[in-house]
Amino acid sequence: MTWHRTASQWFRLPAGPLWEVLSEVRRWPEWNPAVGEAGLGTALAEGAQGHYAPAQRILGALHRRTAPGFTVTQVDPGRRLVLRQPQPGGAQEIEWSLAERDGGTLFTQRVVIDGPLAQQFGLTAGEPLVRGFAAQCARLYRLAAPGGGTAGADDDAARRPLTVLAGGSGYLGTLLAADLLCSGHEVALLARSQRPGPFRQILWDGRSQGPWAAELGAVERLALVNLSGVSLDRPGTEANLALLRDSRVAPTRALVEASRTWARPVERWVQLSAVGIYGDSQEPMDERAAPPSEAPGLAAVVRDWEAAFDPAAAARSTVLRTAVVLDRDAAVLSRLTGPARLGAGGHLGTGEQWFSWIHAADWLRVARAALGLVPSAGEAPVELPDGVVNATSPQPVQNRELMAHIREFVGVPVGIPAPAGLLRAAAGVLRTNPDLALDSVRAVPGVLKDAGFEFRYPQLAAAFREMAA
């Protein structure tokens, strides 16, 4: 039995500085906060012995008492390092590799656990090592880049705009901020409180003007990404709908109000929205479709969200109507797979409702294109027009198909269906909004298609294969 996870990130850096950090195993905790301590007993070479311990207090103490050390099994200076640690009946192998390409370096981390207890050790030892890979890479870039990755470290970086993310501490914000930072861009987060992390932070309260507005107004070249808003996945009470609305509308209004006082317009403004604005419909909806003006609930929240953005002062702007973003690190995957692991992975409601989705890698590429950047290193530019863009896969699926993929993903072939009435009755206990599962949203990406954007994961089967790998 084998448990394995592989992830990659491109860096606008040569391999040498990255290797200097990776090859000093004692620095592992500096870029992966799941590691509490690490080191080698001798110089780095094949056969050298070393140790590491998780940062989590209880697991770390248990690991120090019971786990044997690791052995360096492969060293290819500047390119590859492999550590192998024995486990009961098997082993855990951690590999870091570097490949120079497209004017930078592709870093790949692979963690493999084999043996009869591979799945159990994968959950306790493997998952913490790979979780939050984007933020790990941002920390690694800070350690390896000249000047710690600060603006002005090279002439090219000094000519790029400062990209500021509001709501950037969430999953999508971290994903985008890390990718931009590793690509050599100056990045800052608008944050309500100072938190440890690899990104520069500018304090604000998310609703009123303050020093943050003056600081951004003084920036010569500014790009802005507004991802503010609490999770939609909460019971659909009036109080929660009010919270959803306020957490999106208030920050958007604060940013818009500030932008109208600045001497220069924002160069690129990417405003998050949601395909839920199209309401409950079986018909395919691209950007030309007018959202229903009277649809209640979440659709009304999204309408108010977009309306708050209307008077923004920006030279170029994109409203990203985003579908459910799928990725192994995304919280929504746990929400989808949890019941299926317990045998409740049958279709929900009638099973005929449509589910709009996008893989995280494609959402990131769409966001980069909206910022006027190439979708990914080595790819051709994609020019998106101003206005609304549906950030969603070209192939939405019905709930029956979605749940079949989830059952396959968790390895439980049979699942009990959940009628709509049962799902609504259980929603309060599960702390979720049943409309997210029962409403039919069939959004399609007309603008992306016209712009020639090519999805890496246009089909749900391919997206789940990537998440399984």
Contact (CB, 8 A) for 56 and 67: no
- In this prediction, residue 27 carries a pLDDT of 98
Indicate the pLDDT class of residue 308, thresholds 50, 70 and 90. Answer: very high
pLDDT tens per residue, range 214-226: 999 999 999 999 9
Residue 157 clears pLDDT 60, i.e. is over it: no
Contact (CB, 8 A) for 171 and 178: no
Strand duo 324-326 + 357-359: pairing? parallel
- Measure CA 200 to chain center: 18
Residue 377 clears pLDDT 80, i.e. is over it: yes
Mean pLDDT score, 390-412: 95
For the chain, give the percent of residues with pLDDT over 90: 78
Residue 158 clears pLDDT 90, i.e. is over it: no
Indicate the pLDDT class of residue 235, thresholds 50, 70 and 90. Answer: confident
- In this prediction, residue 155 carries a pLDDT of 53
Mean pLDDT score, 56-78: 91
- In this prediction, residue 246 carries a pLDDT of 97
Residue 150 clears pLDDT 70, i.e. is over it: no
Give the Cα separation of 301 and 140 in Å (integer): 38
The pair of three-digit structure tokens given for residue 97, joined into one six-digit string: 């590799």
Residue 397 clears pLDDT 80, i.e. is over it: yes
* Of 341 and 429, more confident: 341
Sign of CA dihedral 254, 259, 263, 268: positive
Instruction: Report which DSSP code applies to 285.
Output: B
- The H or E element containing residue 261 is none
Hey, what domains does the chain have and what are their CATH numbers?
Answer: 2-132 (3.30.530.20), 146-468 (3.40.50.720)
Give the Cα separation of 368 and 52 in Å (integer): 36
C-alpha separations of 234 from 21, 116, 231, 240, 466 in Å: 42, 38, 7, 7, 28
Q: Which of 12-26, 120-134, 149-163 has the lowest mean pLDDT?
A: 149-163
pLDDT tens per residue, range 84-130: 999 888 999 999 999 999 999 999 999 999 999 888 888 888 999 99
CB neighbour class for 32 (10 Å; exposed up to 12, middle 13-18, buried from 19): buried
Give the Cα separation of 371 and 260 in Å (integer): 20
Give the Cα separation of 27 and 370 in Å (integer): 36
Give the Cα separation of 307 and 128 in Å (integer): 40
Indicate the pLDDT class of residue 156, thresholds 50, 70 and 90. Answer: low
Q: Which of 216-230, 368-382, 383-397, 411-425 has the lowest mean pLDDT?
A: 411-425
Give the Cα separation of 427 and 424 in Å (integer): 5
Give the Cα separation of 305 and 291 in Å (integer): 13
- In this prediction, residue 154 carries a pLDDT of 55
Q: Give 190's strand partners.
A: 166, 202
The pair of three-digit structure tokens given for residue 157, joined into one six-digit string: 């970086």
Indicate the pLDDT class of residue 423, thresholds 50, 70 and 90. Answer: confident
Q: Up-side HSE of residue 5: CA atoms within 13 Å toward CB?
A: 21
DSSP code per residue over 342-404: TT--S-BTTS-SEE-EEEHHHHHHHHHHHTTS-SSTTSPP-PPPSEEEEES-S--EEHHHHHH
What does the buried/exposed string (b/e) look like for 56-73 if buried means 16 or more CB atoms within 10 Å of the residue's CB? eeebbeebeeebeebbbe
**Gap between the terminal Cα atoms of the chain:** 14
- Measure CA 452 to chain center: 24
